Structure 1
Amino acid sequence: MTSELLEIHPQQLNFTFELKKQSSCLIQLTNNTDQYVAFKVKTTSPKKYCVRPNTGIVKPKSTYDFTVTMQAQSVAPPDLMCKDKFLIQSTVIPLGTAEEDISNIFSKESGRDIEEKKLKVFLTSPPQSPVLTAINGDLKQEMDHETSPRKDKACRGVENIPPPQKVAEDLKGFETAKDALELRSTTDVERFKTSVDDSKELTPASNVQSSIPKDVQGLKCTKEMKLDDNFEKLKSKISFMDSKLKEAEVTIVKLTQERSMADQEKDKLQGELEALKTNSAAGKTIQVGFPFFYVCVVAIMSLVIGYLSHL
């Protein structure tokens, strides 16, 4: 084992298997040499496991940890038998090698001496809580004790009626037991009274009533203050809406007045337009008569001038 580049602990991967739950396993690599050693982790089921990190460099005389996580499984393997395996490769690298070049180091073309170590996977069932099992066992015993007389009664069916003499004896025994129980209860009450009288730590009813937490009172005050604030805000909103409604009513009245004035102006303009139309019609009739008279005068004057010119 001393000739190996890396010591691996543990030598196998142990996972606690639970349905639909992940399980993790920590692996520690130890480099006892005076050289830098690179490693790479491979598995037969890469979709089932997650290795972080799967490559790395272990410095001389130091350790390096990586975690293997098994993804949540929906089906349990038979008898928790698992055939998955992991392969850890390691090789010596020179100082200053970057982690990005590790994948090329483990390629077949590199020609390096690579050590390989195989690890098997083992699955274990989750441990059961001893407290719960003990509690369950006690409950089961109590339930068995409670149900046993019922079972006996059910098996026997109708119970046998005892003779009258036996009934009387049982009644006497019951009365004596009852008396003893009453005596015991009275003694217990007396003991309780004496213990109450002797104790000085008991608080009176007034103190009990006054021991209400101040936080509750403060909470009530804060709730009342919040209610008052909400009421004031609602009241201010209502007054604001009332003022807006009044302003809207005033604007509506102004608009109706302006509309009535516009209607009046429209009627006035229509009357003036009708008057202008009548006046224009009368002017046209006058103009039609005037040119005819003017033509007649011109004709007469032209006749007179023509007659005088012939003379």
Structure 2
Amino acid sequence: MMTTELLDVQPRELKFTFELKKQSLCSIQLINKSDHYVAFKVKTTSPKKYCVRPNAGIIKPKATCDFTVTMQAQRVAPPDLQCKDKFLILSTVIPFGTTEEEITSDMFSKDSGKYIEEKKLRVVLISPPSSPVFVPINGESKQDPCYENSVKKDRVLSGVENIPPPHGVAEDVEGFETYKDMDESRAVKDVEELKPANIGEELKLAKVVEELKPAKDAVALNLTKDFEELKLKLNTVDSKLKEAELTIMKLTEERSMTTREKNMLKHELELLRRKNNVKRIMVGFPLFYVCMVALISLAIGYFIHP
């Protein structure tokens, strides 16, 4: 059992500036307070809503590591900017030399007998600086009278206009051990929250869906046409490649035949040269033989006619 804290997380909550149809980023810093190599893994109750980079890694002793959480663009604003999403940071000591590719989910399982440290973070949604908070009163949207005081207070503390959620949002989640089941239950809950409140809203949604169907069909038709055109182009390119391969094969064969013919001509020319040399040697008397005969004739003539 570890007696010291492995990681220090800064900040202890994820603050996102919430705007409809816009992404929002939040950076978290992990500080390794131990003298060991520590592996970490980030989990969330809404994996489809957030993107974590990196979601796992290794931190050297006394070193730091940052990861960024991106909240995807949302089409519907939560009531009073309340968010029940949670994040869980798991960390454990690993041997020296372990690589990030070797990090698996089994390393953070409590059944392995290793010490697993957990850090729970809640999500806080912040209203944009130029967007006041409206509170529904008797069916009408009116500006919250506490908005200006809360904005001034947040500006003094952090320099950012932060609209804290009402009391009770930051409930502690004790069920992080069953994280796989939480993803499914959270998805079902999100679907239930998106159900229309009355029949009129259902009709509006049905109308919107019907309006979107033609556009979807047109997009699918365009994609089909583009796919067919691309397929035809690929077939044309494939046929041209085959023709080019056949041409290359023919040229290669012609080149090899030309090389063989050239070698045969050289061989025949060499044979002709050798035959010519033999004929030259065989025709006429050698010069040395002629000279010897001449000298002998001169000597005989000299002795006959002194």
TM-score range, shorter chain: 0.3 to 0.5
Q: Output the TM-score relative to the length of structure 2.
A: 0.41
Structure with bigger helix share is 1
TM-score by length of 1: 0.40
Q: Considering only CA atoms, is the larger Rg found in Structure 1 or Structure 2?
A: 1
